Structure 1
Amino acid sequence: MITKYPSVLLIYTGGTIGMIQNSETGALENFNFNHLMKHVPELKRFNYRISSYQFDPPIDSSDMEPQAWAKLVKIINYNYDNFDGFVILHGTDTMAYTASALSFMLENLSKPVILTGSQLPIGVLRTDGKENLITAIEIAAAKIDGKAIVPEVCIFFENHLMRGNRTTKINAENFNAFRSFNYPPLARVGIHIKYEPSRILRPDDSRPLKPHFLFDSNVVILTLFPGIQESIVSSILHAPGLKAVVLKTFGSGNAPQKEWLIRELSEATSRGIIIVNITQCSSGAVEMERYGTGLQLLQTGVISGYDSTVESAVTKLMFLVGHGYSSKEIRYFMTTSIAGEITRD
C-alpha cells in the first residue's frame, strides 16, 4: 500500500525569518533554504513532503512590488497539482499587501496559501519564527475528508490565523505584529488548532483555480488631516496617469466641509478617477450617509470602501484597473466582496 504523505511547498521571498547572524561580523544575512532542516530540525518530525523555492536574490519586503506578486502566483499555479498547500515566508512590513493581492489573484483557490514570517531571525535563540513556520506548515497541510480545511490566502502570526485581505501590521516591536480588526480569526492556536469553519470561504468545486497576473499601480493613498491644503490635494488628483484613489477619511467616512475639497473630488470622479472612501480608524466601517460631512462625499461620486483595510483597498484597485474594467465595473466590484475582503451588512 502506497501512503501519500501531506505535501507543502515553502516559498521564501525574503525577510527576517530567513536570516541568520554572521558569527564573525554580527550582521544578519540570508541563509540558504537548502539548509532549512539544519536550522529547524523540528520539521523532520512531520511526516510531510516539504519542498522549498527561494527567491534569488531574496527581496526585502520594503521592495515588494506587483511583479513579485505575479511571480508568486506563477509559482503556485505551476506547482498547484503537486502540493496540498503553500507557505510563503515573507518580511512583515508589506506582508498584508501581498496577502491581499494574492487573495484577488488566486481566484477560486481550493488550497491553503499561508503567509508567515517573524520579528526575530530564525537563527536567534528566542525567535518567533520557528513556531510561526511549523504551525503555518501544519495548517497548509490540514485536510478533512480530503479537502483543505482553510482554502484561503491567510496570514499566520502569533497564534492567530487571519484572512489575508483583512489583516494589517500593527506592531514593530512585539511578536503579535498583525491584527484583523474587522473580521475574526479563522483559527486560534494553543495546545490545539481551533478552526472556525463558519468563517472560512469555500471554493466552487466545479471550477478550477484561475490565476491572474495583471496590475496597474497608478493608484494613490490620500490621507485627510486638519489643515490639509488645496494645492496638495489638487496636485495629487491631477497626477499624470492617476487611475484611482484610496481616500482615508475621519471616523465613519467624514471629511472637512471645504468647498474646494468637494470641487476637486467631484472633478476627479467626473474624469473617471475612482475614489474609494475608507476610515483612518483601525476598526469600524465607512457610513457616508450617517453625517453631513460624509454625505457630501457621496454626492461627489466617492464610493464606500466599507470596512476595508488600506492594504486590501489599494491592491484591489490595482487589480481591477489592471484588468481593464470600465469605471462603472470597478465601482461595482469595489462595493462587492470578491474574496471576503469587506462586510456589506
Structure 2
Amino acid sequence: MANTEANILLIYTGGTIGMIKDFETGALKSFNFDDLLKHIPELKLLDCTIETTSFEHPIDSSNMNARYWVQLATIIEEKYQDFDGFVVLHGSDTMSYTASALSFMLENLTKPVIFTGSQLPIGDLRTDAKENLITSIQLAALREKGRSKIAEVCLYFEYKLYRANRTTKINAEHFEAFASLNYPPLAESGVHLYINDDALYRPNRRKRFKVHKSMASNIVLLKMFPGIDIETVNHILSYPQIKGLIIETYGSGNATNEAWFIEALERLTKNNIPVINVTQCSGGSVVMGLYETSVPLKKIGVISGKDITTEAALAKLMYLLGQHLSPHSFKTIFETSLRGEMI
C-alpha cells in the first residue's frame, strides 16, 4: 500500500497522554506539545509532516462538554484544507463520547480524524502512549490514489482502529481500554498494518464538507434497574427543560411494562420530546416488539436505537435536536444510520 507524504495536524485537548514524569520528584506534569519530537523521536521516521496545536487550556476529559466539542470541530474546520488528516489526543474516560459527537458534527468528511490517548503518560517507562500516537499518525497519513485511505472519525487504541461512534470504554486499567462489539475493527496493527477495506466508511466525495455546531443540551439518561419506582421516574422526568430522553433498557430493549412507567414516557412522546431506547448490554441490538415487555414502548412512539452505543446515542440526540427537525422526521432520521453508527 503506497503512502505518499501527508500533512497531519496533531490536536491536544488534554489527558494522560500529554503528561511526562519529573524523575526527580516522581510527579506528573504537562509538557509543551511543540516539543513533541523531543519526547518521541521515532516520529521523525514517519513519511509525513506533523504540526501540533492545543486547546489554550487543556482539560481533564471528565470536564468535557459540548462547548469543547464545538471548539475542537472549529479547529478542524479552520485547518481542513491545510491538512490531509487529524489526530486528536484526548483523555480516555470520555473519548468515545467526544469522538462520537465529532462524527455527527463533521458531515461529508473525506479525511481521517483519529482519536487516541493512553492509559499511562508518555514519560512513563511502560507507557502505551508512544505506540498509540505513532500508529494513529501513520494511519491518518495513509494515502491511496492521491487521497486519504480512511475518511471518517475513528478511535485508535492498543493495536486496533475502530469506527469512533461504535466504541465504548470497557476497562480503566488494561491497555486494551476500548471495544467495538457491534462492528469490526477498521484496522489492526501488528508486524504490518492490516486495513479492513470492507469495514471502512465510504463518503460521498462530491458533497461539500460541512461542520455542525449546534448541539442541544438538557438531555436525560435513565438506566433501567430492578426496583426502579414511580417516585424516582416521575421526579427525573418532571425536569421542565428536558428536550430528550434516552432509556438504557434490558436485553433487546425491554423495560417494565407497568402502567405508571409507560404513562410517564407517553407524557413525553405526546409533547414531541423524543425518547430513545438503547440496550444497556455491551453488545447486541434493540428489537422492540420481540418480547411482550417492549411492545408498549413501540406503541407510544419510543424510538429504537437499534445497535447504537449509549455514547453515540447521546451525541446523535444532541446533534439532531440542534437541527430542529419535525417530530416525524426526527424519528425517521434517528433510526437511520447517518455515519455508520448503527445497522
Q: TM-score range by the shorter chain?
A: over 0.9
Q: Where do 1:213-292 residues align within 5 Å?
A: 213-292=213-292
- Is residue 33 of structure 2 the alignment partner of residue 30 of structure 1? no
Q: What is the aligned partner in structure 2 of residue 190 from structure 1? A: 190
Q: Secondary structure at the match of 2:130?
A: helix
Q: Using the alignment, how far apart are the partners of 2:238 and 2:331 within structure 1? A: 20
Deviations 1:79-119 (A, max 9, x none): 11111100000000000001100000110100000000000
State how far apart, in whole Å, the 2-side matches of 1:327 and 1:191 are: 50
Which residue in the other structure is 1:114 paired with? 114
How far residue 329 of structure 1 moved from its aligned partner, in angstroms, is: 2.0
Equivalent residue, structure 2, for 1:173 = 173
> Do structure 1's residue 311 and structure 2's residue 292 form an aligned pair?
no
Deviation at 1:152, TM superposition (A): 0.6
- SS of the equivalent of 2:247 reads strand
CA distance in 2, matches of 1:307, 1:298: 16
Q: Does residue 144 of structure 2 align to residue 144 of structure 1?
A: yes
For residues 63-102 of structure 1, the aligned pairs below 5 Å read: 63-102=63-102
Unmatched 5+ stretches in structure 1: none
Describe the superposition over 1:44-99 as per-residue Cα deviations: whole angstroms up to 9, x where unpaired: 11232100001121110001111111111111111111111000000000000011
Structure 1: 4+ residue segments shifted above 6 A: none
RMSD: 1.1
**Amino acid of the structure 2 residue aligned with 1:61:** S
Q: CA deviation at 1:22?
A: 2.6
Which residue of 1 is the match for residue 13 of structure 2?
Answer: 13
- Asked if the contact 2:5/2:141 (under 8 Å) is kept, the reply is no
3-state SS of the aligned residue for 2:23?
coil
Question: What residue number does 1:104 align with?
Answer: 104
CA distance in 1, matches of 2:253, 2:168: 19
2:61 — aligned with what? Answer: 61
Q: Determine if the alignment matches structure 1 residue 126 to structure 2 residue 126.
A: yes
**Corresponding letter in the other structure for 2:279:** T
User: Gapped runs of 5+ residues in structure 2?
Assistant: none
Q: Is the 8 A contact 2:168 2:309 kept in 1?
A: yes
Task: Give the number of aligned pairs.
Answer: 340
Name the TM-score, length of structure 1 as normaliser.
0.97
Q: Could you tell me how far apart the structure 1 residues matched to 2:261 and 2:103 are?
A: 34
State the secondary structure of the residue aligned to 1:220: strand
CA distance in 2, matches of 1:55, 1:30: 13
Q: Note the alpha carbon deviations across 1:278-302, whole angstroms, 9 max, x for none.
A: 1110000001110110112111221
1:115-162 Cα deviation digits (max 9, x unpaired): 000000011111000000000000001011112111010000001100
Query: Partners in 1 of 2:248 and 2:8 — Cα distance?
Result: 38
Please report how far the alpha carbon of residue 240 of structure 1 lies from its aligned counterpart in structure 2 after TM superposition.
Answer: 1.6
Identity among equivalent pairs (%): 52
For 1:93 and 1:205, how far apart are their aligned partners in 2? 33
SS at match of 2:86: strand
Partner of 1:39: 39
Aligned to 2:159: 159
Whether the 8 Å CA contact 2:251–2:281 is kept in 1: the answer is yes
Report the equivalent of 1:298. Answer: 298
Q: What's the CA shift string for 1:230-289, capped at 9, x where partnerless?
A: 111112212121011111001111111211101111111111110010111000000111
Secondary structure at 2:311 match in 1: helix
Q: Distance in 1 between matches of 2:22 and 2:330?
A: 49
Aligned to 2:323: 323
CA distance in 2, matches of 1:263, 1:278: 19
CA apart distance, 1:24: 4.0
Query: Residue 15 of structure 2 contacts residue 92 of structure 2 at CA under 8 Å; is this kept in 1?
Result: yes
In 1, Cα distance between the equivalents of 2:341 and 2:23? 44
Say which SS state the counterpart of residue 137 (structure 1) adopts. helix
> Which residue in the other structure is 1:135 paired with?
135
